[in-house]
Structure 1
């Protein structure tokens, strides 16, 4: 039995946000979209999410203005992160940093660098080298010490094995 998405009777901003991003797979879809995944088939293969669930989540995120569906190459729809969706990046980064601190004994799987100077970008978005607040589009995703290598046969995992600027399309 599926749990309801809504939190009726609660006027809390966190409850409202959970109505949008609190369902299983949603934050991973958003993470991948920021990492540069755009095509339905790439989300499906990389995440292993059931296709019906993925279709529902993407449709919902588009309806909420978190993602935008655009015409991509080869006539296929693609999904890009909107400004509203980019507002969730600090939340995703903070969750990832928390997970790294508590559940990654070998170190983080991925680290983030400032494209401008190569400095480490902390979960708050500030560059350790130059002190700048680094926008998402100027952040480079780099395999970290806990990275085990790409998943067999997954083109997205293989693309993420090399440094890659966030929001730039993978695949």
Structure 2
């Protein structure tokens, strides 16, 4: 079996994010948590994933601080997986993937699930990337400032 490349020490925030949550099962587990799933069996039924794979992904998501395991809300002996603040911060990522998929993964008129505002029942506005002054920012408007590995890192005193 091919060993997965670790990216947890990369200077790139995208690489570190992918290292933590980039597995497609993990993203779908997080999606289901936003849809209300909390128990192992709920995730398993929704995703149809093998139990050993689901258990491994949930363990990794708990270890990464995306989920926490809590006693079942109904007082039963079950445990539930609850998104932490770190996990809830993935909501814009899931919405962005959903909106990209709605635009690029379906033929015109093809039915698909929809995410709507609970208050109004209307679809969400398309996400947009903004500068800190509110301007819309496109890829050509940005630049990545890479870490200079040759110079010593600044030390805080």
- TM-score when scaled to structure 1? 0.66
Q: Structure 1: which 5+ residue stretches go unaligned?
A: 126-171
Which residues in structure 2 correspond to 1:24-39 (within 5 Å)? 24-39=24-39
Residues 81-96 of structure 1: pairs in structure 2 closer than 5 A: 81-96=83-98
Q: Does 1:13 align with 2:17?
A: no
In 1, distance between residues paired with 2:93 and 2:62? 19
| CA–CA distance in structure 2, aligned partners of residues 117 and 92 of structure 1 | 20
Deviations, residues 106-132 of structure 1 (Å, cap 9, x unaligned): 34622222233333212429xxxxxxx
1:120 aligns with 2:123: yes
Query: Once the 2 structures are TM-superposed, how far is the Cα of residue 9 of structure 1 from its aligned partner?
Result: 5.8
- CA shift digits 1:74-120 (9 cap, x unpaired): 21011111111111111111111111111112346222222333332
Distance 1:8 1:33 in 2: 24
Q: Which moved more, 1:31-40 or 1:65-74?
A: 65-74
Q: 1:110 aligns with which of 109, 113, 116?
A: 113
Hey, which of these two has a bigger chunk of strand by percent?
A: 1
> Which residue is 2:81 aligned to?
79
Whole-angstrom distance in 2 between the partners of 1:87 and 1:5 = 25
Partner of 1:110, secondary structure, is: coil
CA RMSD of aligned residues (A): 2.0
Q: How many residues align?
A: 125
Q: Give 3-state SS (helix, strand or coil) of 1:70's partner.
A: strand
Seen in structure 2, the aligned counterparts of structure 1 residues 30 and 108 have a Cα distance that, compared at 3 Å, is: farther
Which one has the largest radius of gyration?
2
- Please give the residue correspondences for 1:113-152 in structure 2 after superposition, counting only pairs within 5 Å: 113-124=116-127
Larger RCO (alpha carbons 8 Å, 6+ apart): 1
> Following the alignment from structure 1 to structure 2, what is the Cα–Cα distance between the partners of residues 116 and 46?
25
TM-score by length of 2: 0.71
Distance 1:8 1:113 in 2: 34
